[in-house]
Structure 1
């Protein structure tokens, strides 16, 4: 993590404040669009993995019931962290308030889930700060009301996802290194999903097929790395799905069906992809979510050289085995 470790300030028998609470970004191993739903949303299949590029939040409990956010004045007053706090307060009938300080590091409209992660970390932190003791499944229900990507951050596990991204099965994924580049401009998720360049007829995959995909999918890229002996899946409802052993496994990253639409809206995406490939040598690059961030796997010892365009944000990251706040709910 790129900030000091989180810490709590206690007052009496309770917690008065939580500082340096991480809200990690995510990437998508692949993203397939299966079709448009009657409600206008799209059925998807994807695999989420958290990475160590984080926003950071401080929470100070208030006795007057007010919810305030300070810092990052470029955000709307009712950003997702504030909306999450209000939703939890109303749901629990809680009389406490909070002052939230948000330190943004994850770029907006990048497909990295920054706002969704902020909301999830807010739910988890305030559940602790306010002493609510709500179970994780209840927090996930609230998360789903805030956005399709919020529940996976509350789940706290890397996950196979279906539906609009809200039907989750936790999967154990190995840690690996990647280089991420955001080309200085964001993309509207609605614009990308509404693009005439978007195809909506991907073949339906299965979690067992994902194991084969993880074992074989990236071999054409020429990038192979020993990342662990197997990938396993554990469904949210408690059923354990054992995915076949992989042994010396490739990254198994695959296509993102949103990439043609994103490329048409923002040609700089191709520039970012080419820049990454020159530095990682992995032979593979793709987009996270609906963009505009691109990522490419790299060796753990990579020291990338060559300046990126001034407006870009580039970071070498590590893909995480789980969310740093996994133990904050049961």
Structure 2
């Protein structure tokens, strides 16, 4: 690896430990409260500088054209900001991706990929943007991108961009992919979506988590009733996993998860998952691994 490349860059998934919809803005965006936590299941990205100024994703991602990929769109925003600040164009960049996080799974894979790309290109291009600069740059593309740049377990409000660090126990999770992709539009647009959940505080969340060691989840996922009605496969996965604990859906779906206090218990549950589902275990991450990777260079 040289100053012209960054390989094996992690883009971790996230879980929503709860997700409440507390209102809706005049522009149609929903007001949310959630706690995001990172887990150690990651896409892996590789970056190499070019000499012609082009920004290219060289890996085919089925269903996601290069021009519409959040990675490419985020890097083009960063390139424009670089040119505005430095008065010259960026050298360009090639991106390869080893994609394992499912699309339409509620794990934030596309947003996480974009956040990792912003951190990597900011370093390779020596753009000089701060974490807060990158968070503001990424927000118009997706409300999850600022969380991945924030880089630690966070209590989120607004449309997901107002973030405060919060502590949660070091837990393991079993995650099931029900075999469907859940588009966010129909879920957020459903007439029966709850949009008036009473706001909570970080203190409410932290007190509950301390009392239950994080194994009994706080609140609920307001999107889950809609998603399970539209996609019965999600309901089936939730119902099966609930025999082992407080299982629920993450994000707008489709993946469902349950928390456990040890890797051995999580592995024992995973061994019982039906072969019709793809499932895996993951451990919570206290911090995003990219900043440490960049500091070591």
Length-normalised TM-score, structure 2? 0.90
Alignment partner of 2:37 out of 44, 49, 52: 49
Could you say which residue in structure 2 is the equivalent of 1:261?
226
Give the one of 146, 164, 168 matched to 1:169. Answer: 164
| Equivalent residues in 2 for 1:102-251, closer than 5 Å | 102-216=97-211, 219=212, 225=213, 250=215
1:277 equivalent to 2:242? Answer yes
Deviation at 1:270, TM superposition (A): 1.6
The 1-side partners of 2:167 and 2:92 are apart by 36
Q: CA deviation at 1:197?
A: 2.4
Q: Cα gap change, 1:72/1:313 in structure 2, threshold over 3 Å: closer, same or farther?
A: farther
Return the match for 1:101 from 96, 104, 107. 96
User: For residue 280 of structure 2, what is the aligned residue in structure 1?
Assistant: 315
Q: Is the 8 A contact 2:54 2:91 kept in 1?
A: yes
The more displaced of 119-128 and 91-100 is 91-100
Matched residue of 1:205: which SS? Answer: coil
Q: Structure 1's 20 and 36: CA in aligned 2 closer, same or farther, altered over 3 A?
A: same
Query: Which runs of 5 or more structure 2 residues have no equivalent in the other structure?
Result: 84-88
What is the SS of the residue equivalent to 1:202? coil
Does structure 2 retain, via aligned residues, the 8 Å contact 1:192–1:262?
A: yes
CA distance 1:290–1:272, change in 2 (3 Å): same
Q: What runs of 5+ residues in structure 1 fail to find an aligned partner?
A: 1-8, 220-224, 226-248
Are positions 1:80 and 2:61 aligned together?
Answer: no
The root-mean-square deviation of aligned C-alpha atoms, in Å, is: 1.7
Query: Could you say what secondary structure the match of 2:208 adopts?
Result: helix
> Going by fraction, where is helix more abundant, 1 or 2?
2
> Contact 1:263–1:270 at 8 Å: present in 2 too?
yes
What is the CA-CA distance between 1:309 and the residue it aligns to? 4.3
Q: How many residues align structurally? A: 283
Give the C-alpha shift of residue 307 in structure 1: 5.2
**Which residue number corresponds to residue 240 of structure 1?**
none
Tell whether 2:271 aligns with 1:305. yes
Q: CA offset at residue 158 of structure 1?
A: 1.2
What is the CA distance between 1:54 and its match in structure 2? 0.7
For the 8 Å contact 1:30–1:254, the answer to whether it is kept is yes
Contact map agreement 1:177 1:317 (CA 8 A) in 2: yes
Instruction: Answer whether contact 2:215 2:246 (CA < 8 A) is retained.
Output: no
**Counterpart contact for 2:215–2:259, Cα < 8 Å:** no
TM-score (structure 1 length as normaliser): 0.82
